[in-house]
Amino acid sequence: MADQRDSRAELGQVLVVIPTYNERENLGPIVARLQEALPEAHALVVDDGSPDGTGQLADEMAAADERVHVMHRTEKAGLGAAYVAGFGWALDRDYGVIVEMDADGSHAPEDLPRLLDALTDADLALGSRYVPGGRVVNWPKYRELISRGGGFYSRIALGAKIRDITGGFKAFRREVLEKINIQSVASQGYCFQIDLTWRTIEAGFEVVEVPITFTERAIGQSKMSGAIVREALWRVTKWGVRRRLEQVGIIKR
């Protein structure tokens, strides 16, 4: 265990970026679990002007604990934009590892130490539901079918070997986010997750999948929508066509 902690320490300070919109009931418990699982980590709550008071609660938590930070955004601009803003905040500071984690409890903070252990030999550690040892709990079957179907289509279109390319529980070395031009990422939802992982692969970084347990939120409503699925289908198809044209030499990288 001491060797693992030493290896993690070499990665640098960890920042967990947690986007929120109407997550007041979930925020306190998820940050408490994070601090229990990884006491040295910092958390950045990126709140998109939640009308339920999530931002105010985040401010109170930050005032009481120097490991908690808050970014306020004035409108609900989507998950991808919130993460990009949080990543930019992290890169302006000295964080060595930047983590994506949902506020709703679907990503277990208790799995984070294993992601960091995997990151000692990789550039991106991706929490995966669909590798041996990974699983989903209490998720509606239609959601799992959408997720698995989207992952399968993306692997075929992009030639990626990642089993859970739509997964949103990720730990990046800062060098990855510095190189992949996050400010140009316009994708949202599932597509945002595919976009980041695909950019990481295309940039030549090492990606490793770590089995996790994904649990459906107990409080609040999912932000999933048909528009998010359609965006992912359109963008992945476009990226896949471009990749094929590059392979046959019609266009250059």
- Weakest-pLDDT range from 45-49, 109-113, 235-239: 235-239
Structural domains in the chain, CATH included, are 2-247 (3.90.550.10)
pLDDT category at 2 given cuts 50, 70, 90 is: very low
Tell which residue, 232, 83, 44, 95, has the closest CA to residue 168.
83
∠ CA 198-204-210, nearest 5°, is 60
Mean pLDDT to the nearest integer, 84-106: 96
Q: Please write the tens of the pLDDT for every residue from 111-157.
A: 999 999 999 999 999 999 999 999 999 888 888 888 888 888 888 88
pLDDT at 185: 85
The residues, any chain, with a CB within 8 Å of residue 90's CB and separated by 6 or more, are 15, 17, 44, 98, 174, 177
Does residue 3 surpass a pLDDT of 70?
Answer: no
Mean pLDDT to the nearest integer, 166-182: 95
pLDDT at 220: 52
Question: H or E element: which one contains 12?
Answer: none
Give percent of the chain above pLDDT 90. 62
